[in-house]
Every structure is written in structure tokens, then in C-alpha cells.
Copies of this chain bind each other. A is one copy, B any other.
Amino acid sequence: MEVPPRRPGRPRDEGAAQAILTATMELMAEVGFAGVTVDAVAQRAGVGKATIYRRWQSKERLVLDAISASTEPAPVPDTGSVAGDLREIYGRMAESLSQPESRSLLMAMVAQATVDDLVRDLLAALVSQRKEVSQAVLRRGIAEGALPADADLDLLIDLLGGAVVYRTCIAGHPVDPKTVDRIVATVLAGAAGR
């Protein structure tokens, strides 16, 4: 029998939280990650600063929360083949990272994750969704005989995601569909051939 933990006093306005997150994302798009200001967020959301700080410890937390709140989960693909499904998943990932804003957001989060454990958890949660989808696809591949039964799924996923991230964000080259093809093909070959 779940007891609703009703606290006394006026309850927090959920609309305010939503307005704050929306205003944050808008500002992020307009002036960039570093240009976001708590005062500006408050003004645009029509909210006092205290209302923001009552919910988030700092500007960073707010921004990160806004990001995760505005990230919708990726769909599970079904193209009929393991390679096709993976191309779908990581092609979408590459496309997303081709936008400077998405790239900037991901990288800022990764940077902050090295310092802030909560950010790390948030990042892990964001990533794990893709991971699970990929795992499902790869397991299907094992079931279909396209991959050996003892394939190290986590390793394959890190190779796929890593190649896209590394090429896009660190090497600084775009990842077009053709490149995704080659990445997927090479990784699947590596999984099979070992």
C-alpha cells in the first residue's frame, strides 16, 4: 500500500520546472552551451532564480538535466539483417553527431562526467539505451548464425560506437553512410573471424 509522501506546504509547480527546462534548451540552441545564463533562463521561463536553484544545485546540473529531458529514445530497427540494423543504429548516431550542437553537448557532458559522478550516471543512462538496442540486434545475429555464439557483444558495441565518436569528435572527420557501412562490415567480420 503505497503511502503518498505528501509533504506540507505548497507543492512545487511542475509547469515551472518544464518552463525552465524548455527555456534552457532554447537558450542553449541560441547562444550555445557556455552562453547560457541562469538569469536569462529565469527571465525567459518567467520564473524567479530561487525557483531554479530550489530544483537544481547549479547551472551545470540544470543544463545537463535539460539535455537528458529533451533526448528521446532511439527506435529499435528491424531491417531484416544484423548489418542493416546496425547501419540503422549507428547511421543515426553519426547523423546526430554531425550536428555541431549535438557534438558539443555530448562532449561537454563527457568532460563533466570525469568530474561529476551524477553526470557520469546520466551519460551512462543515455548511452545504455543504444547499447541495449545494439545488444538485442547482435543477439538476434547470434541466433541467426550470423555471429559466433561466444561473441563479446560489449566489445563489438564499443568498437561500433567508438569508431563513430572517435572519427567525428576527435579525428574531426564526418561519418557518412558509406563510412558507417565499412565500420559495420569490419566489426562484423572481426566478430566472425575470431
Binding site for B on A (CB under 8 A): 32-34, 100, 103-104, 107-108, 110-111, 113-115, 120, 123-124, 127, 131, 152, 155-156, 158-159, 161-167, 169-172, 179, 182-183, 185-194
CB distance from A186 to the nearest CB of B (A): 4
Q: Is the CB of B33 within 8 A of A111?
A: yes
- Nearest-CB residue, chain B, relative to A166: B162
Cα–Cα distance between A108 and B193 once the two chains are bound (Å)? 37
Assess whether B163 is in contact with A170, with CB atoms less than 8 Å apart: no
Give the oligomeric copy count: 4
- Other than the given A123-B172, A155-B182, 19 more pairs (CB < 8 A) read A100-B114, A103-B114, A107-B113, A107-B114, A108-B111, A110-B110, A111-B111, A120-B172, A127-B170, A155-B179, A158-B162, A158-B166, A162-B162, A162-B163, A162-B165, A165-B165, A166-B166, A189-B192, A189-B193
Contact of A161 among B114, B127, B131, B162 (CB under 8 A): B162
Q: List 25 A-B contacts (CB under 8 A).
A: A34-B115, A100-B114, A104-B114, A107-B110, A107-B111, A107-B113, A110-B169, A110-B170, A114-B169, A123-B170, A127-B170, A152-B186, A155-B179, A155-B183, A156-B186, A158-B183, A159-B163, A161-B162, A162-B165, A186-B190, A186-B191, A186-B194, A188-B190, A189-B192, A189-B193
